[in-house]
Chains A and B, each alone.
Chain A
Amino acid sequence: MPSSVMHTSTDGHPSPAAVSTIGLRKSYGDKVVLDGIDLRIPAGSVFALLGPNGAGKTTTVQILSTLITADDGQAQVAGHDVATSPDGVRAAIGVTGQFSAVDGLITGEENMLLMADLHHLPKAEGRRVTAELLERFDLTEAAKKPASTYSGGMKRRLDIAMTLVGSPRIIFLDEPTTGLDPRSRHNMWGIIRELVAGGVTVFLTTQYLEEADELADRIAVLNDGKIAAEGTADELKRLIPGGHIRLRFTDPTAYQSAASALTEASRDDEALALRIPSDGSQRELRSVLDWLEAADIEADELTVHTPDLDDVFFALTGDTDQPKGAVR
């Protein structure tokens, strides 16, 4: 059921919340975007808000980063109420939105110095921080070029570097890897891990379960403006039946004997394929392999399917036989 894993573990030593919300609501006209969001994110952790386009992820980030106001509910960020003390919130946060928030008309270095000035850093300090961050994000060479000439990955790196100028305690990253090529995506993951190692709290939104899994301590699944489930990656994965090992055969006889031996597998007689439920872990894969070996079954092709976001949604909303297009 949707709320079955909400608020599962409190370990008895709750760290102070960096972000907490109660009953956050937002509508645009008739369209309800957020329908009562409760969150509690401990300081120093990484929290991922996972959901498809239109689920309300960006709206949540916009409310928490004081860009827009909620219709109802409460939200506190770094101990400040977003509605009554927005400047207190702004002083503590850094935001990297989904769309590049750099000034394309000026150079990367000028963008950084602009941030330093707006954070009221002394001139020398501003130059030092700029040089340091440009170096760290591999932008030193491009520093004197207009930001509009940067590639997507470079823009995103500059964006995050600008966010870090004021040493924010809480960082919001709205879909930080959407639109990036695989190499840039992995670079970005590395950057986010470094941030966390530095002790900041990271609130990130993503469409990719894999990304949430890689980075987050806790994940909340947002669907149609509601939190459908919340928990650690492992807790969520247990809810998802989509993971399986697929064995494909070319010889019908081998297929038949394997199918009769593997009673727990579901059959696809036309493709001569068997699906064995699995969480995709090495341990489980090895036990399946050992078992196949012992039973003297040799499949022509073995693939491991890990659950993806679609599976999460089908599992959490119970609409298992809906076509993909029906899920917003």
Chain B
Amino acid sequence: MSALTLAVRDSSTMVRRNLLHVRRYPSMTLNLLLTPVMLLLLFVYVFGDVMSAGIGGSADRSAYIAYVVPGLLLMTVGGTTIGTAVSVAMDMTEGIIARFRTMAIHRGSVLVGHVVGSVLQCVMSVVLVGAVGVAIGFRSSDASVLEWLAAFGLLTGFALALTWIAVGMGLVSPNAEAASNNAMPLIFLPLISSTFVPVDAMPGWFQPIAEYQPFTPAIETLRGLLLGTEIGHNGWLALAWCLGLAVLGYRWSKAAYDRK
């Protein structure tokens, strides 16, 4: 068996293992899904009228639904990857990892299993949160098939990048609690992005932080693709963040895993 077929075969075995974990313990996934769904309902039905007026829309909430859904989809990705950090940390405390290391299997397959499993989980979660959004009235403004594909690609790429970072966080955390704390930025960053309010409505000193952190460019790009707003330099920024975080997270994870 060639090195590549071995890698693919072992990795897909590990992906199946991770998906089995998700299927056996759905409570954690649901728990992480609850945050974006609750925030969506809270901001639309409780704060919706004020928020809508705040972004210069009419007094009904529909404008705000359109505004907030893209951000919450990316927040869903962030939240899901916290679960990845926790499950990687938990996995590393188990003796089964030592067993894998003494077997003639592709070395990276354990991590690939976590990463692919996590990205698939992100996609499923995004679809679920997106469905809730559509159910309460979110509609794209005539996005073309290409734009839908690009939106899907962006969400998947962002999920992949954050997942590698989360895997690194999980690997350097001694236990599940520490991993959950270390991964907090993944759910905290979307709160200080343009998810809920436009960056230019924030205090001046804070604007550069909000504008250039990874979530805002991705959110603005997604808005542009689905709602036809101006993307500008945000597209390139989002792409750069995705690539940068993926490469950084991959290298960090690999080094941390080899050190163990």
**Chain A residues within CB distance 8 Å of chain B:** 65-67, 87, 90-91, 93, 95, 97, 99-106, 110, 114, 117-120, 146, 162, 166
Contact = CB atoms under 8 A, between A and B. Distances in A.
Nearest to A64: B102
A95 to B, nearest CB: 4
Given A101-B95, A117-B13, A118-B13, A106 B101 contact: no
A106 B10 contact: no
A87 B104 contact: yes
Contact of A97 (B9, B20, B98, B105): B98
Contact of A95 (B9, B17, B20, B99): B99
Given A66-B102, A67-B102, A114-B17, A100 B24 contact: no
A93 B20 CA distance: 27
B16, B25, B94, B96, most chain A CB atoms within 10 A: B96
Contact of B17 (A103, A104, A120): A103
B15 to A, nearest CB: 11
Given A91-B104, A120-B9, 11 more contacts: A90-B104, A97-B99, A100-B95, A101-B96, A104-B94, A105-B24, A110-B20, A117-B13, A117-B16, A118-B103, A120-B1
Given A101-B95, A103-B96, A114-B13, A95 B104 contact: no
A118 B10 contact: yes
Contacts, number: 56
Interface of A is mostly: loop
B257 to A, nearest CB: 13
A166 B95 CA distance: 18
A67 B16 CA distance: 25
A213 B9 CA distance: 43
A293 to B, nearest CB: 55
A32 to B, nearest CB: 22
Contact of A106 (B1, B20, B100): B20
Contacts of B25: 105
A90 B102 contact: yes
B208 to A, nearest CB: 43
Contacts of B20: 105-106, 110
Interface residues of B, number: 21
A66 B101 CA distance: 8
A166 to B, nearest CB: 8
B251 interface: no
B98 A118 contact: no
B242 to A, nearest CB: 30
B94, B96, B100, B102, most chain A CB atoms within 10 A: B102
Interface string B99-138: 1111111000000000000000000000000000000000
A87, A117, A166, most chain B CB atoms within 10 A: A117
Q: Return the 8 tightest CB-CB contacts between A and B, nearest first.
A: A101-B95, A101-B99, A90-B104, A91-B104, A117-B13, A95-B102, A99-B95, A65-B102
B1, B10, B16, B99, most chain A CB atoms within 10 A: B99
B95 A118 contact: no
Contacts of B21: 105-106
Contacts of B1: 120
Contacts of B94: 101, 103-104
A95 B97 CA distance: 12
B20 to A, nearest CB: 6
Nearest to B101: A67
